[in-house]
Amino acid sequence: MTTHDVVVVGAGPVGLWLAGELRLAGVWTVVLERLDEPGPAPIPCGFVRVSGYDAADQEPGRRTVTMDELRATAVRIAGTDFGMRDARWLSRFGNATRHAATYRKGRVLLAGDAAHVNNPIGGMGLNGGIQDAVSLSDRLAGILVNRDPDRLLDLYDLQRRTVAVEHVQEQSIANKKRLEASDPETRRKNLDDLRQIAADPARARQFLLRTAMIASQRRAATIELAEATP
């Protein structure tokens, strides 16, 4: 590129982490972000952030949420709308679980939510996205500073897509199913399973390694460059 080595599109946690890692490595980086659309902002005095899950309203698709709908839902679930009014920002979150077919197309690379989308329970997507940023910044810095081969980006693609499927999506889907379970017997079994895991040090350790995504880092490290597409 003529002015910058890397352009990061999106100033979320993953984009900023990626840009920071690259600058520390000596790579000249610019971050682009759209500011013409409303979005979450710091909560001023007197405002409260409200979020929730409505098991009775799971119609697919991105639909606009209104203040009247939010009030009605709160009354149906909690018996009161808590006096909610004057919303600054309303948004409906979907639980789609998807990941891109490839994280690399020439000089365009994906990381974080641009590469994989999943249920937020457990923070698997954010954790995986930060790991994407660290992995990608290491590859890009190696190429731009040390003149390593571009093929390292194929390794990034293979490693991070594998982790997204085997760890991020698999664990987030399991978390979502555990939360959504409404049958008393199923819920009882889920809780019993967790108690048994907690009571067994070896199983508890493996559970924590997986949910904290330490195991995913170890899995990625086992994928060799020879497995990447030449």
**Residue 110 sits in the same domain as residue 16:** yes
Strand partners, 155: none
C-alpha distances in angstroms, 13 versus 17, 28, 111?
6, 19, 11
| Eight-class DSSP state of 122 | G
Q: Do residues 186 and 119 share a domain?
A: yes
Are residues 67 and 20 located together in one domain of the fold?
Answer: no
Q: What per-residue confidence (pLDDT) applies to 105?
A: 93
- CATH (domain of 185): 3.50.50.60
Residues 159 and 206 both lie in one domain: yes
Q: Is the same domain home to 192 and 168?
A: yes
Same domain, 136 and 196: yes
pLDDT of residue 202: 95
Same domain, 190 and 83: no
**What is d(CA 206, CA 60) in angstroms, rounded to the nearest whole number?**
35
Distance separating alpha carbons of residues 156 and 135, to the nearest angstrom: 7
Domain contains 121: yes
The number of folded domains in the chain is 2
* Per-residue pLDDT, 142: 92
The pLDDT of residue 121: 76
Find the domain containing 88 and state its range: 59-94
Does residue 48 sit within a domain? no
Running along the chain, 230 residues long, what does each successive block of 10 average in pLDDT?
Answer: 70 84 86 61 66 70 80 87 84 77 93 86 85 94 90 94 88 81 89 94 93 91 68
Same domain (yes/no): 23, 129: yes
Measure Cα distances from 83 to 37, 43, 70, 75 in Å.
Answer: 27, 17, 11, 10
Buried b (16+ CB within 10 A) or exposed e, 167-187: bbbebbbbbbebeeeeeeeee
